[in-house]
Structure 1
């Protein structure tokens, strides 16, 4: 869909301009009573259970104020994830496993969302960063609440990813960890509410291609092209949050070498039912990206040495892999939605990858029909898509 089709204020989520919705909710403007307004709230809850796609639920809420109020807190399963594209365009995952046409969502005034990179997410919150060390912010895509982060303060800086220890609304002492390339050198920067600036950390093990994630109170860093995993314990000093201890988990020595010796690798990690998974894509050489095999391992890091156990199924769950983070999703809560799939989005290291992989039979398929311009070089400087997981 062209960019002009979705520019009406607020129409992505509620199909109603933000200012008009605020007037109606405040009682300042009461539209004519709809014949549908008398539908019982419990009946509306049943309807919502058959609508796993967030865009469809938004259309239900847009019918009238009564439906919008009744749709809140109905205890239905969370909707299917969204993919946030450059310039804050949103695409909904459909029950058929492909993404809907992207539409631009309204963002609060004062955010230069059209020129900001999406570099992370947590639940309904999206992390945005301005170009060349500009502003950093976290915005709730639905309530439009904004939390400002300190500027990175340097022109020669490329912010690749921000991982959050928790969503800002769920914990007052949440931590943000940024991975960036500054002056051609990879760095980690730490921040928590109350700090005036980022705490920048350097180490020889900070590679230019990594994945970062929080798990059980620790920060983990995974090299993308060689499965080396490092655990960081975080503490506090007079300047704020800092890295107090680092440990090499040595998982690369536990992996089988039957595929890795002749294939290109790309590694990610994700938490699934309280366990940390290692997901490795094996490509048939750099020029044969279409030939891909995926292996998944449960990492038990509580033992010494660590233990890796290969698994072949997520049951009815799905895994979503993207540049802004990875997460599991209970797809089985929605009837007719296939589980046991891994959705891969493009990132800095795999800019053309956008496919779904079946753990059951190894087949792959597209998640975009057709593939949107997210992979075009003209938008590469605006980053890559991130997955978003609204609660209702």
Structure 2
């Protein structure tokens, strides 16, 4: 116990800041005392005191930086009085130079603090928007265990154009994942519109083709109404809707130009491409679209991974795409939460810490005990 005691105490950020302030204060005191106690030597203060406010600006607040700058000026005046240099032109120039540098570093610190406050507000608004638009999925939906992640490529943002949602019907769970073409506020608005349409209609439409036709009509109207005529048809949303029944292993899917889901089953990772893919939402009006339902089997314990192209198109420093299928093949025994955590860590390591495109992933697992399959 005695050996661990010295390491048990850790300074808080505020205490660390207070300790750091002692450095410029100690520097000022040392320079002034040295010059006062050695009156016959050349004063060091005029050339060294400028270091104190510059050092304080690197970690202290604007107020503290200004106070240390003022103390440095006072210290210089004390040195000038002690050395009888107050009336000399050179000393006056050195005082003016110290005042100018002090003002500049204090202004720099103020601008830095203001930008930090603005970034904090941006993050707060972004997080609030994410909670409203991209509602967190519960850890359990019916007989399914669920986990999800969203990583926005845009700096200081928490949400972009990727989307996902899940809705319960009386007999199944319907999940959508999608990717809006474009970025910024327009993409967020389009994503919010599609999510609202899905949540409103997913439990009312009896069939997936009916649901997709409704979403296509809604998205086409939303994308064409607010934009100029010459840009109509250039906006679209890739999406896939999955219907997972409570009492059957037969899962239905309609894909509208979206990357295929990944099924993890008994140590194998299998892509489930749509046999009859439909055009992305917003482009269905260009052709006579018929929505075909693809089916596959999802047994109890299987993991279904839905993702956007920001995952599989993520490149490393050598330009290689992220090998999701190969990596996921060794994660078949993971829970949805553990898989999402492992995937996020591995993906960021692959790209060197920052994505070039938004990425969203949803992992679903049919519960072994409560699936009720017949």
TM-score by length of 1: 0.28
Larger strand percent: 1
Larger helix percent: 2
Greater Cα radius of gyration, structure 1 or 2: 2
